[in-house]
Structure 1
Amino acid sequence: MAAAVQPRLAPAEAAALTRRITLASTCVAGLLVAIKAAVWAISGSVALLASAADSGLDLLASLLTFFAVRYAAAPPDAEHRFGHGKAEAFASLMQAGLVFASAALVGREAIHNLLEPHEVRQEGLAVAVMLVSTVMTAGLIAAQGYVLKRTSSVAVAGDRAHYATDLASNAVALLGIGATALMGWNGLDALAALVVTALLLWGAVSVFREAASQLMDRELPPAERARIVELVTADPSLTDVHQLRTRASGPYVHMQMHVDLDPALSLQQAHAAVVAAEKRILAEFPSADIIIHPDPRGAAEPHGGAFAETPLGKRGLNEDLRD
């Protein structure tokens, strides 16, 4: 029995959700940049400066995501027959680059202030700003988590990784500023900024890996692949799904497969069985682009091409579903 799979939303519903969450992300980032920059100018906290710089690049990343999800949801055209979904993955790659840049700038400033500590002013105000930032960021992450459960958007996932890192960095900066205020050692503020740098680097690597997986056409998770096979073979006239290939492209899912049918069926009967299988898949994967190639059971010739069946038969690409 295949594991339960969360049904995907129709393209229009998924696009509406991603548009709303990316708009919320952009607004939150803009507000945090303004607040942190203003209070940094008053307090001089390098930890707060690190957090403000991070939020500034998050604003740019959120703007990229804001436009990317809209472009990715555009329908196929004459030059992009598979749609524009990979725009989301490209946006995530740019997000990763921005986070790497943010980590470099923050790390440089932290090391400079660790070697030459300076006084942090208005610690109470800086602490208050970080508390507000932490609450706002936590709320946005919760909303993004809800959207991700429904859409699996790699662009929103990248944006959420930014803010998850922000949440951790806010907590670290808050500890650094608070420790500086209580203990009077300004170096703690710079050490907190170094920890923020490490968190930024970790977040950038995670975003890069997720985007690269989609750009490299990584298969859907095994549970979803198994569910596709289960939906196709719900009709006993369709058996032995093989050469199943799947990939995600932004809000869309592309899948192709071969399936065995009774060779005694007429062309019309075989077509009807395949169309019915496509409808079953679309009920749970409404954004899917599906190609099903019927083979006469027991009488099919091996297929050639760049991704031909292996000499071992119909294994290889489907071992994760059969073992």
Structure 2
Amino acid sequence: MTAHDSPAPARRTRDKVDLTKFAWLSIVAAILTITLKAGAWVMTGSVGLLSDAAESVVNLVAAVVALIALRVAIRPATDRFLYGRAKAEYFSAAVEGVMIFVAAAVILVTAVERFLNPRELENVGWGLGISVIASLVNGGVALVLLRAGKQHNSITLRADGKHLMTDVVTSAGVLVGVALVVLTGWERLDPLVAFAVGINIIITGIGLITESVSGLLDKALPDEEHEVITEILRRRTDDTVTFHGLQTREAGQEKHMNVHVLVPDEWTVKRGHDYIEHLEQELMEALPGLIVLTHLEPISDPASYEDIPEAHVPIHGEDETALRPPRH
């Protein structure tokens, strides 16, 4: 019995991972840092520290939205949502990007007002110390979220982690600015730092919205994952079997691909089915979480080459329309 004729291996199911615990971690961190940073602002009167606290409020709202999105994304498919709700994560990232713009607007307006009406800072030492503690909390949580987002391919966790890491950078800039105000006595430096913080936040927001829109528009898998897929398909290509029309897309934690499998005309349905079962299993083992859809076609039929999508991933390093057999 050949490998093609042997029983197909058991199909592995794609189990979605519950990532809501990371959203709860982000919520707790946001509440803690809001309390700390608000206290630092009250003690010093620094508009830079106020802008830092305002961004933490956005972190809290974004974390709550992320929790809701992750709960929705993990829900199973239904008669109404046959493919599940994995793309809910992209809405979370988009909302977080919009919230960042709101925070930036508040910061910029406040910074301009304080620049026009500078005030002397107070209790700077205590304020800076409290802000440092808040930044350490944010930095630790950001690393956890970024690592989990990469591991589970979650745009929600990556967005939240990037936002928190931006907050850490922001806080560092604010701390330097406030310290320079004390050293130089130039009170307008504080709102200038706050204004720079606002611009930096806007840049982060643009990045988050761009990534979420790309996901909603079915962005293809990364090039390195394309290489894993095409290497397997090229290795399986011979005089009797070949492939074309490879397409991929991301949907939250899910990775999707579809490809046309061209096999000898004389193969039975069972032999072709067993072949693609083994193929799909190999692809899923190479890229955990991959959902594979295959389309079986007779290799010598010219009609099999008429449905190659206009946009596809090259498998053989050339235009796959050139691989069609001559018409008789």
The answer, yes or no, to whether TM exceeds 0.5 is: yes
Contact 1:73 1:85 in 2 (8 A): yes
Q: What's the CA shift string for 1:18-63, capped at 9, x where partnerless?
A: 2232221111111001111122122211011000000001100011
Q: Percent identity?
A: 24
Per-residue deviation, 1:266: 1.1
| TM-superposed deviation, 1:293 | 0.3
CA positional deviation for 1:254: 2.1
* Distance change >3 Å, CA 37–CA 321, structure 1 → 2: farther
Question: Which amino acid in structure 1 is aligned with residue 313 of structure 2?
Answer: N
SS at match of 1:79: coil
Matches of 1:205 and 1:112 in 2, distance apart? 25
- In structure 2, the partner of 1:6 is none
Q: What is the CA–CA distance in structure 2 between the aligned matches of 1:205 and 1:68, rounded to whole Å? A: 20
Deviations 1:71-129 (A, max 9, x none): 11112111111110110001100000000010000000001101111111110111112
Contact kept? 2:276, 2:294, Cα under 8 Å: yes
Residues 83 and 303 (structure 1 numbering): CA distance in 2 closer, same or farther, change over 3 Å? Answer: farther
Q: For residue 186 of structure 2, give the secondary structure of its aligned residue in structure 1.
A: coil
Secondary structure (helix, strand or coil) at the match of 1:93 reads helix
Change beyond 3 A, Cα 1:134–1:87: same
Mapped to 2, the partners of 1:236 and 1:321 lie a distance apart of: 9
- In the superposition, the TM-score normalised over structure 2's length comes to 0.87
Q: CA RMSD in A?
A: 2.2
TM-score, normalised relative to structure 1:
0.88
Residue deviations 1:180-205 (CA, integer Å, cap 9, x gap): 12222211111110111111011001
Instruction: Provide runs of 4+ in structure 1 moved above 6 Å.
Output: none
Gaps of 5+ in 2: 1-12, 319-328
1:251 alignment partner in structure 2: 253
Q: What corresponds to 1:69 in structure 2?
A: 70
Within-5 A mapping of 1:33-182: 33-182=34-183
Taking the aligned partners of 1:320 and 1:200, their CA distance within structure 2 comes to: 40
Q: Letter of the aligned partner of 1:322 in structure 2?
A: G
CA 1:320–1:127 in structure 2 vs 1: closer, same or farther (change >3 Å)? Answer: farther
Report what 2:9 is aligned to: none
In 1, Cα distance between equivalents of 2:152 and 2:47:
38
State whether residues 168 and 199 of structure 1, in contact with CA within 8 Å, keep that contact through their aligned partners in structure 2: no
Aligned twin of 2:313: 318
Matched position secondary structure for 2:242: strand
- Please tell me whether Structure 1 or Structure 2 has the larger radius of gyration of its CA atoms: 2
Deviates more, 1:63-72 or 1:46-55: 63-72
Count of residue pairs the alignment pairs up: 306
Question: The residue matched to 2:35 in structure 1 has which SS?
Answer: helix
Return the alpha-carbon distance in structure 2 between the equivalents of residues 177 and 240 of structure 1.
65
Q: Report what 1:287 is aligned to.
A: 289
CA distance in 1, matches of 2:75, 2:280: 23
Q: In 2, distance between residues paired with 1:141 and 1:126? A: 22
